[in-house]
């Protein structure tokens, strides 16, 4: 198997797709955090305008 370098951290390893698993996990975590912040900002802006926000319930 070829040993490639990660495009993000440049560590050498055997992996597919050009990005190591650790960097993939970090990128996904950052994306989820950003998505959460966008939703939070949207809810805050709707609340300021007086719009009712329905909360989803799990069950």
Contacts of 49 (CB under 8 A, 6+ apart): none
How many Å apart are CA 41 and CA 10, to the nearest integer?
35
Q: What is the mean pLDDT of residues 4-33?
A: 92
Residues making up the chain, counted from first to last: 59
22 burial via Cβ count (<10 Å: 0-12, 13-18, 19+): middle
pLDDT digits (tens, 9 = 90+) for 30-51: 999 999 999 999 989 988 888 7
Residue at token pair 């912040």: 37
What pLDDT, on a 0 to 100 scale, did the predictor assign at position 2? 58
Instruction: Find, among 57, 56, 40, the residue nearest to 48 by Cα.
Output: 40
Residue 12 predicted with pLDDT over 70: yes
What pLDDT, on a 0 to 100 scale, did the predictor assign at position 59? 58
């Amino acid at each position: 198997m070829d040993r490639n370098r990660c495009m993000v951290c440049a560590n050498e390893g055997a992996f597919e797709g050009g990005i190591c698993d650790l960097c993939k996990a970090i990128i996904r975590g950052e994306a989820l955090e950003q998505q959460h912040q966008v939703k939070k900002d949207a809810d805050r802006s709707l609340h300021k305008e007086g719009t009712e926000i329905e909360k989803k319930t799990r069950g």
